[in-house]
Amino acid sequence: MQGRPIACKPEGLHLQVDAVLNLLPEECDELQITGTVSRLLILLMGGGTQHKLFTIVSEIYNRARWQNQWVTISAKLLRHIYHTIDSTLVDLNLQTHFDLYGNMSTLAQGCDLVECIVLNLYDEYLQKELPTAEWHSGLFCLLANMFLDVTFLEGNTICHILEAMLSTEVLFHESNFNCFIDFILAIGYRLEISTFDPDIVDRFKKTLQKLQQRTDEGSVRQRATILGVFEIRRNNWSSAGLAVR
Question: How would you label 203-235 residue by residue, b for 16+ Cβ within 10 Å and e otherwise?
Answer: bbbebbeebeebeeeebeebbeebeebbeebee
Domain count, the chain: 1
**42 within 8 A of 5, measured Cβ to Cβ:** yes
Angle (nearest 5°) at CA 20 between 98 and 119: 40
**pLDDT surpasses 50 at 4:** no
Q: Is 52 part of a structural domain of the chain?
A: no
Residue % of the chain over a pLDDT of 90: 1
223 within some domain = yes
Q: Is the pLDDT of residue 243 over 50?
A: no
Give me the count of residues in the chain. Answer: 245
Helix (H) or strand (E) holding 93: none
- Contact partners, residue 236, CB within 8 Å, separation at least 6: 192, 193, 194
| pTM of structure | 0.49
Encode pLDDT of 199-217 as tens digits: 656 656 666 665 556 544 4
Cα within 13 Å of Cα(61), Cβ side? 22
Q: Please write the tens of the pLDDT for every residue from 60-104.
A: 877 776 776 777 777 778 767 766 665 544 455 545 555 555 555
Across the chain, what does the average pLDDT equal? 61
In a domain? residue 136? yes
Query: DSSP letters along 55-90, please?
Result: HHHHHHHHHHHH-TTHHHHHHHHHHHHHHHIIIII-
**Is residue 6 situated within a structural domain?**
no
Q: What is the DSSP letter of 23?
A: T
Q: Which residue has the higher pLDDT, 123 or 16?
A: 16
Residue 141 lies in a domain: yes
pLDDT band, residue 195 (cuts 50/70/90): low
Whether residue 68 is contained in a domain is answered as: no
Burial label, 113 (beta-carbon count in 10 A; 0-12, 13-18, 19+): buried
Return the amino acid letter for 194.
S
Q: How confident is the model at residue 45 (pLDDT cuts 50, 70, 90)?
A: confident
What is the residue range of 237's domain?
129-245
Residues whose CB is less than 8 angstroms from the CB of residue 221 and which lie 6 or more positions away in sequence, other chains included:
none
For 118-143, the pLDDT digits (tens) are 555 555 555 555 545 555 555 555 55
